[in-house]
């Protein structure tokens, strides 16, 4: 189960620039608990970001990404602090609710006036950094900014990979590595490598709209399931 979740998430992340957190986080949280599951998402995001940027780093718009990353750096510690202190049922319910709400906003193509220009970049980066550190799902906030900024898919993927690499590194540094056995680490590394290669091969063959619908549909299911488990434990 762990290997399958990592394989699916890493394939989608390499294909679309985001998606590992949305797809893998609910499954990993249910398997490992909210703190350890999100910590693994953050570590995996660093590796996948490095792999993706190996061939696309020249397309990163550093001037555009600077306010996003700087704002995220301020909110990552707050997300990590909350994740380490809240009870598990509360984390599961909040995590599931955040994922579900974020997916629905992206599905609706929400356009927010506040997400324009440098101020919009700061707002999106702050929200994304907090959500990435607390729940492993910083991608939707970045997607909403990209939609409002009018980015094309070609522009979005390398910049999202750069952003994910930096912010996941900060999140992992704030919380530390997940506690896995050596066989589990080997399983994660192997399935992630296969997923990255698979995502690279599929990138040129998968229609953008079709891939987007699959990603968001699976993420929505995962978010609802996680919130339901959290509510069940609270009751």
Q: What number is the average pLDDT over the span 185-212? A: 76
CA distances from 225 to 15, 34, 64, 177 (A): 25, 13, 36, 25
Q: Which of 1-15, 46-60, 72-86 has the lowest mean pLDDT?
A: 1-15
In angstroms, the CA 214 to CA 195 distance is 16
Contact predicate 138/87, CB 8 Å:
no
CA distances from 102 to 98, 140, 233 (A): 6, 6, 23
In angstroms, the CA 51 to CA 227 distance is 32
Q: Which residue has the tokens 């959500």?
A: 131
Q: Which residue has the tokens 């699916």?
A: 8
In angstroms, the CA 212 to CA 206 distance is 10
> Nearest CA to 101 among 225, 2, 224, 226?
224
User: Domains in the chain: how many in total?
Assistant: 1
Spell out the residues 6+ positions from residue 182 whose beta carbon is closer than 8 angstroms to its own: none
Contact predicate 228/97, CB 8 Å:
no
Give residue 79's pLDDT: 86
In angstroms, the CA 174 to CA 80 distance is 6
For 16, phi and psi rounded to 5 degrees?
Answer: -110, -5
Q: What number is the average pLDDT over the span 113-141? A: 77
Give residue 77's pLDDT: 92
Contact predicate 35/65, CB 8 Å:
no
Residue 72 has pLDDT above 90, yes or no: yes
Contact predicate 3/188, CB 8 Å:
yes
Give residue 211's pLDDT: 60
pLDDT tens for 74-85 read 999 998 888 888
Domain of residue 226 covers 2-234
> Nearest CA to 37 among 1, 68, 75?
1
Instruction: Specify the DSSP class assigned to residue 115.
Output: G
pLDDT tens for 14-53 read 666 566 766 777 778 778 887 888 888 888 888 888 887 8
Contact predicate 21/137, CB 8 Å:
yes
Contact predicate 6/188, CB 8 Å:
yes
């Amino acid at each position: 189960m762990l290997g399958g979740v990592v394989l699916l998430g890493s394939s989608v992340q390499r294909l679309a620039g985001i998606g590992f957190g949305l797809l893998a986080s609910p499954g990993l949280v249910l398997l490992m608990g909210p703190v350890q599951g999100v910590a693994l998402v953050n570590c995996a995001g660093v590796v996948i970001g490095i792999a993706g940027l190996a061939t696309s780093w020249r397309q990163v718009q550093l001037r555009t990404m600077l306010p996003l990353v700087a704002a995220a750096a301020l909110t990552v510690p707050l997300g990590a602090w909350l994740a380490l202190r809240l009870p598990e049922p509360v984390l599961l319910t909040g995590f599931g609710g955040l994922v579900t709400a974020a997916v629905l906003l992206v599905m609706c193509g929400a356009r927010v006036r506040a997400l324009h220009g440098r101020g919009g970049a700061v707002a999106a980066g702050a929200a994304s950094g907090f959500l990435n550190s607390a729940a492993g799902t910083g991608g939707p906030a970045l997607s909403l900014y990209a939609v409002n900024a009018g980015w094309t898919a070609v522009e979005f993927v390398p910049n999202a990979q750069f952003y994910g690499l930096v912010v996941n590194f900060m999140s992992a540094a704030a919380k530390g590595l997940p506690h896995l056995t050596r066989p589990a680490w080997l399983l994660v590394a192997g399935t992630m490598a296969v997923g990255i290669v698979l995502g690279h091969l599929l990138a040129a063959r998968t229609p953008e709209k079709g891939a987007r619908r699959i990603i968001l549909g699976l993420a929505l299911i995962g978010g609802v399931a996680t919130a339901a488990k959290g509510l069940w434990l609270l009751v």
